[in-house]
Structure 1
Amino acid sequence: MDCPIFFFFLLLTLLPTLSAGFPRSKLLTLELEQSQTPTPTPTTFFQVTRPITPPPNSTHCSTLVLTHDFAYTYTKPPVTSLYNPPTHCTPRAPPSLAVLEFSSTCIGRQFDRIFGVWLGGAEILRSCTAEPRASGIAWSVQKDITSYSSLLSRPQTLAVYLGNIVDATYTGVYHVNVSIHLYFDHRAADKKKASAAAAAGFGSPADLIVPLSRPLPLNDGLVPGQRLDRHRDGAVRRSRNTFRAVLEVYVSFHSDDEFWYSNPPDEYISANNLSSPGNGAFREVTVSLDGDLVGVIWPFTVIYTGGINPLLWRPITGVGSFDLPTYDIDVTPFLGKVLDGKKHTIGFGVTNGLDVWYVDGNLHLWLDSKSSYTVGSLIEYKAPGFRPSLVSKFKGLDGSFDTRAHRQISATGWVKSSHGKITTNFFQRLDYENLMEFKGNGSVQVVNQTIEFSYGTYAKHPATVLYSEQVYRKFPLYLYTGSSDEVNDSYSLDANVMLGYDEKRFSGERFGFSFSTLRNLQNAQGTMYVKGNLVTGGLEEYSGSVQIREHRRLLLQECEQQQLHYSSRRVWKFLHRGLGILFHPMTT
């Protein structure tokens, strides 16, 4: 994806040589569509993920918030609409479940586009469009937005930024509907009220959400985040009765860093006189408070719908491409510093980052309704510096690179409110390994990467543990890209991708605990056949599995497991009238 900085595609004539090993090109997407015979039935794209299940016997209210056709919207302000809470239901409590639904159709030639949705200035969805086809496409994204319940109880401005270009070449217009669905289960709400942990801000949505986005109106909706500072201290100053705070961070990477995990070191690029993106394959998003590091993010490697080989993601898109992951950092231990009535700054940075990263965030605050102010203090803070290690071995265009990193961060602090004196510890432990290899005079690149990321929060009264949560995530990635020579000036462009998102989550309180696991694994491989400047065929295979397991124990025991396996195999055959050099801003 791109930003205001343009993304230049590699010349097709270079692909059979050294550049073919780099997963940079999305040149073939439009040409494939030109050569196929359109069918009247549009392709429905979907992302396999954890299902959203409404509470049984709950009441349901829906409202259509926005309908718009996104034609030439690049560099223009976001499209806005007024959200009003549904009037056809009168809930006695916040919703047990809130779901944002973004649905769209498109016919014509177009690239995938990054977009975002904001409510009351707070970003609630970062996503990528499906890549259009001549026969038309349709897709829908559903996201659980229950954590934003405080925004849903009163009128708000809903904004959507989708930077699209429509001209003689790019003809696709995105026809978009945005709806919000609310589900109310009063019995579940009454049970939550009885929980001491929920009363202390654990397991219940925040009372106030402070956006760290730029305020409307905007010239565009997303902000480059190589080095950003955010001043939103006014709302925090007015909320000096805060007793818990969690920073939610949105991250996406584009242009020169869309495939950051495949970027070779600068020494390799310099030695071979290449112009490909570099800075190595390690990236880290840093989050600071008044210049002090409070947490880091080693991001999941989202592959957008036009990434590497667009045929791989039809109709099943890559993990996280329709609903990019967010990352939580518990900053409660630092509340004693923030609630002093002075000005404070939250900063974002990207270690080794190239253009362009979009980094955004929301500060979720829990307020003490029985007091006008709270007090606190930081007890212990550890954030030692570190430097990734690199073992580099190469000769000419062939070689290998082994990059590794390890980091730990922890903070402990107390906050005194009407709930008592609660001591909170937040920690992060991260491990990273990237093994990269170039073969065949640089025509083949293999990347084998693993990110392991665990974090947790422990909150306790002086005499007992109030709440604990620990999350373990593992992001495996295998990527093979290359070209092979055939006969009669023909060659093939090959790609093989394995992408995984594993998560284990444990949470416990005084009277119960819950444990859940999510394993989402995708395997995709495809080949495009090229003769001269003509694409003559293609083959794509796809398989994957999702395993979801949940276990809760609270006086009674409940256990459920869901498992899904899916696969597809398609062969593309087509004629082609010619292949041009493409240039497009603001695409994925």
Structure 2
Amino acid sequence: MAASSVHLALLLCLMIMIPATVASPRRLRESPAGASRPTTFFEVDRPLRPPPGSSGPCSTLLLSGSFGSTLAKPPATAAYSPPRCLAAAGGRASAISLAVLEWRAACRGAQLDRIFGVWLGGAELLRGSTAAPPLDGIVWSVSKDVTKYASLVAAGRSTLAVYLGNLVNSTLTGVYRANVTLHLYLRRAPAPRPPPAVAPADLVLPMSRALPPNSGGGLWHQIRSAADVQSTSVALPSNTYRAVLELYISSHGDDESWYTNQPGYRNGPFREVTVRVDGVLAGAAWPFPVIYPGGIYPLLWRPVAPIGSFNLPTYDVELTPLLDGKAHEFGFAVTNAQDVWYVGANLHLWLDPGSTATTAGLVSYVAPPANATSSQSGDPVDTHHHATASRLFSAAGWVRSSYGNITTNATQTFGLEYTLTFETLDRTTVAGAGVSATDHAGGVVYAVQTRRNFPLGWLYEQGRLTVTHGLDETTVSAGRWWTGPRSRSLRTTQSSVVEDEEGGGKSWGVRQAYSYEATDGCYFRNVTSSGYGIVSDHSSEVCAAKGTSSGRGAVGAAPGAEKAGLVRN
């Protein structure tokens, strides 16, 4: 995975050539702590908690494999059947209170960061990057909540597929060895009928490439240019009353570091992934600027991985207003794309148990083109590049089912501010999404409003590079069908530094603050690293406003997590 910006290339050259003039607080040189003991890398995230009254975990190893020279080879596969504990609990998806997919891997020997994906029955469950391991090796793990795929987990026999395209040669000797495990927590008492539309979907339809028996690569659609549209046909069940498309997105090759591009270089710094139904825009996602563990400067992310790199974020697009019970062609494109983007999708469908067919109609639709501008100053010594972009999408439609006549309004708003100079980058993406469903009397059935803020910046001065990266997300929910947290907020900020040392070495370190607050619990963590070591690691689950703690066991804790607060790594 290589950087793709002129400014970035010049900056890295300076990092190599300019001697340090500021003393570094991190005096460790680039060498692992011990040759015989691999380093544990991790991404800061909150622990996963089973709901009260759950039994488990019931753990099943789904696949164990080694990924050496696997680039452009077929995925590793394994037969899947629902775990016996689920069958003993009745075999229904509603018996699952929490499902966790754990990826645990190790690598010894020099290697690059590689993208990997995990699919069940063709539906993507997890996409992540490996670390960029030092010669003496690493271990790391990811635990992802996959409860929303409960219908797939309980559906019956299927195929699990894992693709990790790795290359091994005389220089890159590292082989990734990974275990994929499913942990299930089950309800002790018979599950009540789940609330309509907000429980896990009744059906999850994959929109990935078909599992190739002989051809290589993952199951992703590959978008190679701005004109490229990848599509798939799907027939929706006639009794569907809600539909949400879940997007998986990652950028590679010429567009790996698209977020640093200056205007006029490689199509600039603006990207959006668009979803089309029968050629008509149905929604969009503006990608979170995921920095891979080998990106910008690899020492910045050792051992604390960049935000979202081990467990890439997904993006939901509400399609309920467009329901009509017919077959449709779903298309995916990336505005301003360079070769290559991997795009996959899962269609989550809620089915009406009280009828064999629903009826639906579109009420309104507004989707003006995205508005993007760019400019640069005339100063030949210190040119300032500036770019902005904005987008609005709105649709409303009604669906008549046994639950009544429900009208759903879906909105999306996006904004981008970007400034680049020779020494600095400052960009912020703001994304808002809202879904509101009302009955014939105007009562709110369910409503969800989410706002996300993606700040990214760097500062280079006197042999010192500082990269700041963050995610700020707030969600507010309401309605008589809604049973989850009414509000939740997540804010995490990462500041990573690499600096020249006297004598030609490098020192580096990371500070990250993580804060999650919700009506059902809280989690806070602050981590500081220096070189490959952790200097401080403090966490708490006490909500400041309530003075309470959830007090339940965590899933997917890292080695030594009893001191670090039982984090999910």
TM-score of the superposed pair, with normalisation by structure 1: 0.81
CA contact under 8 A between 1:473 and 1:503: conserved in structure 2?
Answer: yes
Residue 486 of structure 2: SS of its match in structure 1?
A: strand
For 1:49, which of 20, 41, 45 is the aligned residue? 45
Does 2:475 correspond to 1:473? Answer: no
- State the match for 2:420 in structure 1: 436
What is the CA–CA distance in structure 2 between the aligned matches of 1:246 and 1:321, rounded to whole Å? 24
Partner amino acid for 2:78?
Answer: S
Does 2:533 correspond to 1:566? Answer: no
Shift of 1:530: 9.9
Residue 249 of structure 1: SS of its match in structure 2?
A: strand
The root-mean-square deviation of aligned C-alpha atoms, in Å, is 2.7
- State the match for 1:447 in structure 2: 425
- State the match for 2:267 in structure 1: 279
Moved over 6 A (4+): 6-14, 17-21
Shift of 1:8: 12
- State the match for 2:557 in structure 1: none
- State the match for 2:358 in structure 1: 374
Q: How does 1:174-573 map to 2 (within 5 A)?
A: 174-187=176-189, 189-190=191-192, 193=193, 198-202=194-198, 204-217=199-212, 218-221=215-218, 222-225=220-223, 226=225, 227-234=228-235, 236=236, 239-266=237-264, 278-336=266-324, 339-340=325-326, 343-396=327-380, 398-438=382-422, 444=423, 446-463=424-441, 464-481=443-460, 492=463, 494-510=464-480, 514-528=486-500, 536-551=504-519, 560-570=521-531
Shift of 1:20: 9.0
Residue 370 of structure 2: SS of its match in structure 1?
A: coil
Shift of 1:14: 9.8
Change (3 A) 1:157 1:8: farther
- State the match for 1:72 in structure 2: 69
What is the CA–CA distance in structure 2 between the aligned matches of 1:248 and 1:20, rounded to whole Å? 45
Q: Percent sequence identity over matched residues?
A: 43
Deviations 1:336-382 (A, max 9, x none): 2xx13xx4211111111212211111111111122221110000000
Shift of 1:11: 13
Partner amino acid for 1:477?
Answer: L
Shift of 1:481: 4.5
Change (3 A) 1:147 1:12: closer
Change (3 A) 1:207 1:397: farther
What is the CA–CA distance in structure 2 between the aligned matches of 1:511 and 1:79, rounded to whole Å? 41
- Specify every segment of 5 or more residues in structure 1 that has no aligned partner in the other structure, as ranges: 22-31, 267-276, 439-443, 485-491, 552-558, 573-588
Shift of 1:480: 2.7
CA contact under 8 A between 1:539 and 1:571: conserved in structure 2?
Answer: no
- State the match for 2:24 in structure 1: none
What is the CA–CA distance in structure 2 between the aligned matches of 1:424 and 1:278, rounded to whole Å? 39
Residue 383 of structure 2: SS of its match in structure 1?
A: strand
Partner amino acid for 1:290?
Answer: D
- Specify every segment of 5 or more residues in structure 2 that has no aligned partner in the other structure, as ranges: 19-28, 534-569
Residue 232 of structure 1: SS of its match in structure 2?
A: strand
Q: How many residues align?
A: 508
What is the CA–CA distance in structure 2 between the aligned matches of 1:415 and 1:511, rounded to whole Å? 16
Shift of 1:467: 0.6
What is the CA–CA distance in structure 1 between the aligned matches of 2:532 and 2:66, rounded to whole Å? 33
- State the match for 1:114 in structure 2: 115
What is the CA–CA distance in structure 1 between the aligned matches of 2:16 and 2:251, rounded to whole Å? 21
CA contact under 8 A between 2:221 and 2:230: conserved in structure 1?
Answer: no
Partner amino acid for 1:506?
Answer: V
What is the CA–CA distance in structure 2 between the aligned matches of 1:211 and 1:503, rounded to whole Å? 27
- State the match for 2:161 in structure 1: 159
- State the match for 1:578 in structure 2: none
CA contact under 8 A between 1:72 and 1:165: conserved in structure 2?
Answer: yes
What is the CA–CA distance in structure 1 between the aligned matches of 2:242 and 2:157, rounded to whole Å? 25
Residue 230 of structure 1: SS of its match in structure 2?
A: strand
Deviations 1:300-351 (A, max 9, x none): 1111111112111111101100110000001000002xx13xx421111111
TM-score of the superposed pair, with normalisation by structure 2: 0.84
Partner amino acid for 2:222?
Answer: P
Partner amino acid for 1:507?
Answer: S
Change (3 A) 1:331 1:562: same
What is the CA–CA distance in structure 2 between the aligned matches of 1:547 and 1:460, rounded to whole Å? 33
What is the CA–CA distance in structure 2 between the aligned matches of 1:390 and 1:12, rounded to whole Å? 22
- State the match for 1:136 in structure 2: 137
Partner amino acid for 2:354?
Answer: K
Residue 371 of structure 2: SS of its match in structure 1?
A: coil
Shift of 1:529: 5.7
CA contact under 8 A between 1:451 and 1:474: conserved in structure 2?
Answer: yes
Shift of 1:42: 0.8
Partner amino acid for 1:87?
Answer: R
Change (3 A) 1:13 1:302: closer
What is the CA–CA distance in structure 1 between the aligned matches of 2:60 and 2:6, rounded to whole Å? 42
- State the match for 1:25 in structure 2: none
What is the CA–CA distance in structure 2 between the aligned matches of 1:159 and 1:180, rounded to whole Å? 14
Change (3 A) 1:391 1:164: same
What is the CA–CA distance in structure 2 between the aligned matches of 1:54 and 1:81, rounded to whole Å? 27
Partner amino acid for 2:259?
Answer: Y
What is the CA–CA distance in structure 2 between the aligned matches of 1:166 and 1:107, rounded to whole Å? 12
Change (3 A) 1:548 1:401: same
What is the CA–CA distance in structure 1 between the aligned matches of 2:362 and 2:5, rounded to whole Å? 48
Partner amino acid for 1:72?
Answer: S
Change (3 A) 1:538 1:457: same
Residue 300 of structure 1: SS of its match in structure 2?
A: coil
Shift of 1:37: 8.3
- State the match for 1:582 in structure 2: none
Give the stretch that moved more between structures: 49-58 or 349-358: 49-58
What is the CA–CA distance in structure 1 between the aligned matches of 2:317 and 2:13, rounded to whole Å? 44
What is the CA–CA distance in structure 2 between the aligned matches of 1:379 and 1:13, rounded to whole Å? 52
Q: How does 1:83-98 map to 2 (within 5 A)?
A: 83-89=80-86, 90-92=88-90, 93-94=92-93, 95-98=96-99
- State the match for 1:554 in structure 2: none
